Amino acid sequence: MAKKPTKKGPLKVNEFNLNSFKKDFGVNGVVKDKELTWIPFNEGYHDAIGLPGIAKGYITLFRGFSNTGKSTAAFEAMAACQKMGILPVFIDTENNFIWSHAKDIGVEFEEVVDKETGEITDYDGRFLVINNDSLLAKYGTYDYAESKDKKERRSEAVIEDVARFIDELLDEQAKSVYKDKDGNPTSDFPEICFIWDSIGSLKCFKSVASKSNNNMWNAGAMATSFGGIMDYKIPASRREGKVHTNTMVAIQKIWVDSMGAGAVKHKGGEAAWHSARMIVHMGGVQAHGTTTLKATSGGNSYTFGMFTKIKCVKNHINGIELEGKIASVSHGFLNPDKKNEYTKEYKDYLMEKLNVTSGEIVIEESEPTDEDIKSMYVGSSADDSNE
């Protein structure tokens, strides 16, 4: 006769306590992000693509051909940061910072004038503006191949200088954190928004040292030097418990790969494309996709801006990816439908530029000519005047 099966209890196993393991292994739980906030641009930007501006704590890339309004975005960011108490750090390696244009858009500063000569010697305000000369003066003797200073000074600033400057500034900010009387971390150092105009305008150390301009070396140096900044340091500042929320805005020119089915490529490499959580494309893909805005009166004409296509082509922040048209004018971004209102509001400004004291101002839209580009935003370079 067969025996009846014996009832057995559940198998006993060693109990695994995940929380204890995390603690013992030194691994913290997931830390959530701070609430999403924005650094706002003019309403014309929102009207065009449905976004209020740039998101704090993220990398935002504005890309396109030259003269498509990208630098207007950089100045919009700078002016908005000042209003919010964020320190804008403008890294101008295009050597195309136009103070009059920045002022028209809303960047606040005072001109420092030499009392004897009456010449403007500097600009004072709540910002940092760094250019190639600044970088070269600070890091020009550093040899990145051997990781040490040398007596010889380089003739050019390099990609690695920009990354080192950003790293050092973020380190200074981190050192400023202390605990208040209640034991909460705080700091007197402001939040930072780095604005780089533009990626691809510098060679890497190896290219400069070898007196060449190797695109592969430059792209590799960009990826290596900025990996920690774009993929960790800036994004990590969004976490709850971090005192500062830091942001980065980058400008990058493009070119079209005729051998790769017309794919858009980025001058200086693809590192920023991969790291940016939001990418805004300005202008067309196969061509500029812009038309100029001219004010005409008394036989004189002044090119004061342009119409351009604008599209959010990557948005890993809130998913909105819209396409529209925007006007990039002397005073920032403008809804194209409001060009007549702009003309009325800034009539005195336009008449001064036109060198007339009375008369009707006629606004015309036309295809840009070389002369239009040269005359746009007085004081800028001919090839990058409204980049």
Q: Among 5-19, 25-39, 287-301, 337-351, which is the least confidently predicted range?
A: 5-19
Do 128 and 89 meet the contact criterion of CB atoms below 8 Å apart?
yes
Residue 153 to residues 16, 136, 137, 347, Cα–Cα distance (Å): 60, 8, 9, 50
Tell whether 118 is covered by a domain. Answer: yes
147 Cβ neighbours under 8 A, 6+ residues apart? none
Q: What SS3 class is residue 238?
A: coil
- Planar angle of CA 40, 161, 217, nearest 5 degrees: 105
Average pLDDT score, the chain = 90
Q: What are phi and psi of 85, to 5 degrees?
A: 80, 10
Residue 119 has pLDDT above 90, yes or no: yes
Instruction: Report d(CA 254, CA 269) in Å as an integer.
Output: 10
Tell whether 334 is covered by a domain. Answer: no
In 3D space, the residue among 319, 251, 315 whose CA is nearest the CA of residue 278 turns out to be: 315
Residues recorded for the chain: 387
Q: Where are the alpha helices (DSSP H) in the chain?
A: 18-25, 43-49, 70-84, 99-105, 132-139, 159-175, 205-209, 215-228, 234-236, 271-275, 339-345, 347-354, 370-375
Residue 145 has pLDDT above 50, yes or no: yes
Highest mean pLDDT among 18-27, 187-196, 288-297: 187-196
pLDDT band for position 21 (50/70/90)?
confident
Tell whether 8 is covered by a domain. Answer: no
Instruction: Report d(CA 80, CA 375) in Å as an integer.
Output: 27
Residue 379 to residues 112, 204, 373, Cα–Cα distance (Å): 18, 29, 12
Tell whether 151 is covered by a domain. Answer: yes
State residue 385's pLDDT score: 36
Share of the chain above pLDDT 90, in %: 74
Tell whether 182 is covered by a domain. Answer: yes
State residue 40's pLDDT score: 97
Instruction: Report d(CA 245, CA 81) in Å as an integer.
Output: 12
Domain count, the chain: 1
Instruction: Report d(CA 131, CA 162) in Å as an integer.
Output: 10
pLDDT band for position 44 (50/70/90)?
very high
State residue 380's pLDDT score: 35
**Strand pairing partners for 199?**
252
Tell whether 106 is covered by a domain. Answer: yes
Residue 6 has pLDDT above 80, yes or no: no
Do 273 and 266 meet the contact criterion of CB atoms below 8 Å apart?
yes
Do 65 and 253 meet the contact criterion of CB atoms below 8 Å apart?
yes
pLDDT band for position 373 (50/70/90)?
low
Q: Among 101-105, 267-271, 291-295, 324-328, which is the least confidently predicted range?
A: 291-295
Residue 280 has pLDDT above 60, yes or no: yes
pLDDT band for position 13 (50/70/90)?
low
Domain at 59, CATH number: 3.40.50
State residue 387's pLDDT score: 41
Q: What pLDDT digit, counting tens, does each position of 198-250 carry? A: 999 999 999 999 999 999 999 999 999 999 999 999 999 999 999 999 999 99
In 3D space, the residue among 334, 287, 335, 285 whose CA is nearest the CA of residue 313 turns out to be: 285
Residue 255 has pLDDT above 90, yes or no: no
Residue 286 has pLDDT above 60, yes or no: yes
Q: What SS3 class is residue 65?
A: coil
Tell whether 17 is covered by a domain. Answer: no
Q: Domain residues for 243?
A: 36-284
Q: How far apart are the first and last CA of the chain?
A: 94
State residue 383's pLDDT score: 36
Q: What are phi and psi of 317, to 5 degrees?
A: -105, -60
**What average pLDDT score do residues 30-38 get?**
91
Q: Among 76-80, 153-157, 291-295, which is the least confidently predicted range?
A: 291-295
Residue 382 has pLDDT above 50, yes or no: no
pLDDT band for position 16 (50/70/90)?
confident
pLDDT band for position 379 (50/70/90)?
very low
Residue 112 has pLDDT above 60, yes or no: yes
Tell whether 78 is covered by a domain. Answer: yes
Q: Is the pTM of this model over 0.85?
A: yes
Instruction: Report d(CA 250, CA 45) in Å as an integer.
Output: 17
Residue 386 has pLDDT above 60, yes or no: no
